[in-house]
Chains A and B, each alone.
Chain A
Amino acid sequence: MNFDDILKEFEASKRPGYNEDERRAEDVRLLVDAWVKERTVPELLPYEQELIDRILIRIRKQIELIEMNSIELQTHEREIKLRLVVIESELDRVQFIIRSYTRTRLQKIDKYSLYIRSNDKETAKLSNNEFAYMERHLELLLELYNSQFMKNLPESLQAIDETGGGVSMIDEPDLDRPVFVQATAENVVEVDDEEIELTKNGIYVVRYRAVKDLVETGDVRVL
């Protein structure tokens, strides 16, 4: 966490009505949402840098808490033990979400790396760590292809990102893939020149492209 963030949090805590506990609860809710979205949506979504950073700090604190208290276990057995069990169980849950979130993203990054690299908007969705991973992974793959056969092919055939000739070699996410959503507000979306009215709380299966913007604004919740 850099100084700006610390300052922001300090200022936020001075605001009337600010409740640290509520903020923490909200953060976990946001994390769960981010995870569900990333799993459901066909394209890569922007990395939740600030949210994850905040939660990683708290994870570290909990781990320290567990380590500190384990030492006292011998003397104050019962009560501390139960608290540690609770703390550790919750820790496990949060670690799981971040783990699954991260690996879901990696899978999409691996699948669409050529596409992501070719597009600034897409590249902006990656964390620094993810970007470094993507570049290096591509490097390793190219090394593999080259050493196995590519370098022995005629020069004109040595590209791996050809788009001509019918089937493009660059995999792009299929934005027309249907997703399950629940409308949180009334809206109208267009699919194939047809207009569909979304009623509040209605559950729909519709192609992602039609609701992409609404997912971003939160007018629609992916399931």
Chain B
Amino acid sequence: MSLPKSYQQNFSPQEINFLAEQELVTVIPRYSMNGAQLIGAKMPKLRALNREQIPLWLATLLKKQEKCNIVVPEWLSVEYLRVRYDEEIKYPSKFSNLPWHWLPIAKKLLDYASDDFIDPPHEIRSLLQDLREVRLVKARKGIRELNHVYIQLDGLSLMEINEIRPFILEVMDQLRKMNDSLKVKAEEEMPRQAAAQMDRDEDSDDDIYQKE
């Protein structure tokens, strides 16, 4: 097989990470650099201390080379995360509003740009961990509500979706198969029921005739 089984119905965490790296972040160049012609959007010409938006993969590359600092997004602050956490607790059947790629972006920035954070990184890590856990528990609970027709999962991020995907797909599939077999049974019942109904109709017809 040209594609290993493990990739056949799900993405690996590394692949989700890869998708997250396409997201734009703001950097503050430390030096001026010429741009570069790329296959996708070009790398812009960078001027020292002039903010620019570039994809995360490029930002971390430059950061590692000490060519820039990264502007940590607003949502990666103690205040924002704490509010979200409180929301998670307050509304047990909803997921709070976090960016689509919050997990991989947070991890990458903490790993490679911890010095660019205003709030203490360890506090951020701790809050992220708490958020992760409470949402995971919620997602698992939500799986109890699974039915074979559809499920709604508003508010989950891609990484979180990817993590529960295999389980949900498996369960939904089983439910669907069970339901299909019930349908077959019902269809087999139908001719019998229809015949019974016909008998009843015939009886009532007789009544009509008799009245006449």
For residue A221, give the distance in angstroms from its CB to the closest CB of chain B.
11
A163 to B55 Cα, complex, angstroms: 51
Q: What is the 8 Å Cβ interface bit string for chain B, positions 7-41, against chain A (1 contact, 0 not)?
A: 11001000100110010000000000110111111
A194 B34 Cβ-Cβ under 8 A: no
On chain A, the residues within 8 Å of B40 by CB distance are 24-25, 27-29, 90, 94
| Chain B, 122-179, CB within 8 A of any chain A CB | 148-156, 158, 161, 165, 168-169, 172-173, 176, 179
For residue A89, CB closer than 8 A to chain B, the reply is yes
B176 A58 Cβ-Cβ under 8 A: no
| Chain B, 37-51, CB within 8 A of any chain A CB | 37-43
For residue A9, CB closer than 8 A to chain B, the reply is no
For residue B1, CB closer than 8 A to chain A, the reply is yes
For residue A188, CB closer than 8 A to chain B, the reply is no
A204 B176 Cβ-Cβ under 8 A: no
Q: How large is the interface on B (under 10, 10 to 19, 20 to 34, 35 or more residues)?
A: 35 or more
A178 B172 Cβ-Cβ under 8 A: yes
For residue B65, CB closer than 8 A to chain A, the reply is yes
For residue B24, give the distance in angstroms from its CB to the closest CB of chain A.
10
Question: Main SS of chain A's interface residues?
Answer: helix
Q: How large is the interface on A (under 10, 10 to 19, 20 to 34, 35 or more residues)?
A: 35 or more
Given contact pairs A194-B149, A203-B161, A204-B151, A107 touches B169 in the complex (Cβ within 8 A): no
A87 to B38 Cα, complex, angstroms: 6
On chain B, the residues within 8 Å of A55 by CB distance are 39
B1 A93 Cβ-Cβ under 8 A: no
A55 to B38 Cα, complex, angstroms: 11
For residue B3, CB closer than 8 A to chain A, the reply is yes
For residue A181, give the distance in angstroms from its CB to the closest CB of chain B.
10
Of B1, B15, B168, which is within 8 A of A205 by CB? Answer: B168
On chain B, the residues within 8 Å of A37 by CB distance are none
On chain B, the residues within 8 Å of A107 by CB distance are 1-3, 8
For residue B118, CB closer than 8 A to chain A, the reply is no
Q: Which of B38, B39, B151, B169 has the most CB of A within 10 A?
A: B39
A21 B39 Cβ-Cβ under 8 A: no
For residue A91, CB closer than 8 A to chain B, the reply is yes
A190 to B60 Cα, complex, angstroms: 45
On chain A, the residues within 8 Å of B149 by CB distance are 191-192, 194, 196, 206
On chain A, the residues within 8 Å of B155 by CB distance are 203
On chain A, the residues within 8 Å of B161 by CB distance are 180, 203, 223
On chain A, the residues within 8 Å of B179 by CB distance are 192
A32 B11 Cβ-Cβ under 8 A: no
For residue B102, CB closer than 8 A to chain A, the reply is no
B42 A86 Cβ-Cβ under 8 A: no
A86 B173 Cβ-Cβ under 8 A: no
Given contact pairs A91-B39, A94-B39, A107-B3, A176 touches B176 in the complex (Cβ within 8 A): yes
A62 to B34 Cα, complex, angstroms: 17
For residue B61, CB closer than 8 A to chain A, the reply is yes
A residues with a Cβ closer than 8 A to B are 21-22, 24-25, 27-29, 32, 36, 39, 55, 58-59, 62, 65, 79, 82-83, 85-87, 89-91, 93-94, 96, 100, 103-104, 106-107, 110, 176-178, 180, 191-192, 194, 196, 201-207, 223
- Please give 16 more A-B residue pairs, beta carbons under 8 A apart, in addition to A21-B42, A83-B36, A191-B150: A21-B41, A24-B42, A25-B41, A27-B40, A29-B40, A86-B43, A90-B58, A91-B39, A104-B7, A107-B2, A176-B176, A177-B169, A180-B165, A204-B152, A204-B153, A205-B153
Can you list 25 residue pairs at the A/B interface with Cβ under 8 Å?
A21-B42, A24-B40, A62-B39, A65-B37, A83-B34, A86-B58, A87-B37, A87-B38, A89-B58, A90-B40, A93-B18, A94-B39, A104-B3, A104-B7, A110-B2, A180-B153, A191-B149, A192-B149, A192-B179, A196-B150, A202-B152, A203-B153, A204-B151, A205-B168, A207-B176
